[in-house]
């Protein structure tokens, strides 16, 4: 069987087992353009693989993604008898460590959510309503949603009577129910009321959050609006060693603040961590760990709880 056919079978196999595999499929088809896709799998040389990986320099995240994608493909090809060995190098350099996410402070969140700052976004981004943008930010922080999950919410997915959001076809095509608290519930109810005053295209749209034309929110538009907002309220991240603050960091902030609150209340954090993992849509705790950098506040709460336990005053 030719390499091109095995690649397509592998992509189909990954997706049939629950992976969206969009980036992986794109990288494998890009790989086919750099080699002879009509040759057998074993015809690919290590030199060709190294050329695709862009030499033997430091391992960037993009190069790591290409390496991991090819590694998974060749394991599949070898297990099915389409290849006898893998042409990937055994001495691939270590990837760089990921920069820590920016955990927004409570004071920074107040600045981001201040309705007066949203007027800037409305003037510069006429096709994205300020009230819609602000509601989106509340969803990302208040429910810990990914941008794609929030922007794809249908009006029928938002049950404000029960206080439950239905997240459909998230990562790995999984769906989940997300209970929301009374504060976020009030915000969404207010938005629903305001939505009745929108244009006819917006009112008729199946999406809960829409542009003025009734279309779903484009990630690039939202990201640009957020960067403008973030800088306008003085959050540039230059005073820390972390990466530039991102929109996705609102989800990280949700997780850290939730854990910090549990510590502060003396809750059984070990028992509640799997609950947080499920709420975020992760299949295991490993996926949740990256959302929980040890901030000073979180460290203080954890240390206080441990000190109380060591003195015989509570459970750790």
Residues labelled catalytic:
146, 171, 248, 251, 282, 291
From 27, 45, 35, select the one nearest 3 (Cα to Cα): 35
* Both structure tokens of 227: 């960067």
Return d(Cα 300, Cα 306) in angstroms, integer: 10
- Please give the DSSP secondary-structure letter assigned to residue 168: -
- Angstrom CA distances, 314 to 48, 92, 260, stand at 60, 47, 17
| Residues whose CB is less than 8 angstroms from the CB of residue 284 and which lie 6 or more positions away in sequence, other chains included | 277
Return d(Cα 309, Cα 287) in angstroms, integer: 28
SS3 (DSSP) at 179: strand
Return d(Cα 189, Cα 139) in angstroms, integer: 12
Tell me, rounded to whole angstroms, the distance of Cα 136 from its chain centroid. Answer: 15
Report CA dihedral (307, 312, 314, 316) to the nearest 10 degrees. Answer: 60
């Amino acid at each position: 069987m030719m390499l091109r056919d095995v690649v397509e079978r592998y992509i189909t196999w990954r997706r049939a087992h629950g992976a969206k595999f969009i980036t992986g499929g794109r990288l494998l088809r890009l790989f086919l353009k750099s080699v002879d896709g009509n040759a057998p799998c074993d015809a690919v040389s290590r030199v060709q693989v190294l050329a695709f990986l862009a030499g033997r320099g430091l391992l960037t995240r993009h190069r790591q993604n290409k390496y991991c994608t090819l590694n998974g493909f060749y394991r599949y090809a070898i297990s099915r008898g389409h290849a006898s060995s893998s042409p990937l190098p055994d001495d691939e350099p270590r990837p760089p460590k990921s920069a820590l996410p920016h955990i927004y402070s409570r004071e920074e969140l107040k600045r981001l959510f201040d309705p007066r700052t949203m007027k800037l976004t409305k003037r510069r981004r006429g096709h994205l309503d300020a009230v819609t943008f602000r509601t989106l930010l509340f969803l990302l922080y208040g429910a810990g949603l990914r941008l794609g999950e929030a922007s794809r919410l249908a009006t029928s997915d938002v049950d404000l009577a029960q206080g439950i959001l239905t997240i459909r076809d998230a990562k790995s095509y999984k769906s989940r129910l997300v209970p929301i608290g009374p504060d976020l519930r009030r915000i969404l109810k207010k938005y629903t009321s305001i939505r009745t005053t929108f244009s006819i295209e917006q009112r008729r749209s199946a999406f809960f959050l829409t542009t003025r034309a009734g279309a779903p929110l484009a990630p690039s538009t939202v990201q640009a609006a957020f960067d403008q907002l973030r800088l306008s309220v003085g959050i540039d991240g230059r005073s820390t060693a972390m990466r530039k603050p991102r929109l996705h960091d609102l989800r990280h902030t949700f997780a850290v603040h939730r854990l910090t609150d549990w510590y502060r209340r003396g809750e059984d954090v070990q028992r509640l961590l799997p609950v947080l993992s499920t709420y975020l849509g992760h299949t295991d705790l490993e996926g949740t760990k990256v959302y929980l950098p040890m901030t000073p506040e979180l460290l203080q709460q954890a240390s206080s709880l441990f000190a109380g336990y060591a003195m015989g005053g509570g459970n750790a």
